[in-house]
Each structure stands twice: as structure tokens, then as C-alpha cells.
Amino acid sequence: MYSFMATDESLALVRKIVDRLREARRVQGLTLRELSGMSGIDAGMISRAERGERWPSLAALLDLSKALDVKVSEILAAEKR
């Protein structure tokens, strides 16, 4: 049986991605509940992701990016420009 463990570098990148989504939400003045309604993603899940307690799936990242009108390429970029 195989076990997959994320590297520290991968976890740091995921943290940056989630931070970028939170920043976009705040810049737009959206609450967690409002973003939830726009994206279809549970507000609790968004909150846990923003606190680093849970990592969103790729599908959730895509839905959140679309709701925030932020390009996925900007969210997933290794370095913020």
C-alpha cells in the first residue's frame, strides 16, 4: 500500500494559493457566506481552507476562482506577480 505525503514545498505553495483566494475575497469585500453562495462551496470549507485546516480540491479552487473572477493561472502561479 502506498502512502502519499505532501512535501513542505508543496504545502507552502498550497498555502500561497489559498492566501491569494482569501486576498481576492477581501479585496472584493465579500464575506465567506457571500462567496459560498457565488461558488457553491460550503462557507465552512472555505473558512477551514483559509485557516489552513483543510486544503480545497482542484475543483473547489476552480469554482472559487470563477466566482472571484480571478484567472486560475494567477492563483496557481508559483510566484505572485
Cell of 4: 502519499
Q: Which domain holds residue 71?
A: 8-76
The verdict on residue 53 lying in a domain is yes
Residue 4 reports pLDDT greater than 80: no
**Rounded-to-integer distance, Cα 13 and Cα 65, Å:** 16
| Domain at 36, CATH number | 1.10.260.40
The verdict on residue 81 lying in a domain is no
Are residues 30 and 70 in contact, defined by beta-carbon separation less than 8 angstroms?
Answer: no
Q: What is the pLDDT of residues 55-69, one digit of tens each?
A: 888 899 999 999 999
Q: What is the pLDDT of residues 15-26, one digit of tens each?
A: 888 999 999 999
**Rounded-to-integer distance, Cα 32 and Cα 45, Å:** 10
Instruction: Tell me which of 37 and 53 has the higher pLDDT.
Output: 37
> pTM score > 0.75 for this model?
yes
**Number of domains, the chain:** 1
Q: Which residues contact 52 (CB under 8 A, 6 or more apart)?
A: 15, 18
CA angle 74-7-56, nearest 5°? 50
The verdict on residue 51 lying in a domain is yes
User: According to the model, what pLDDT value does residue 79 have?
Assistant: 58
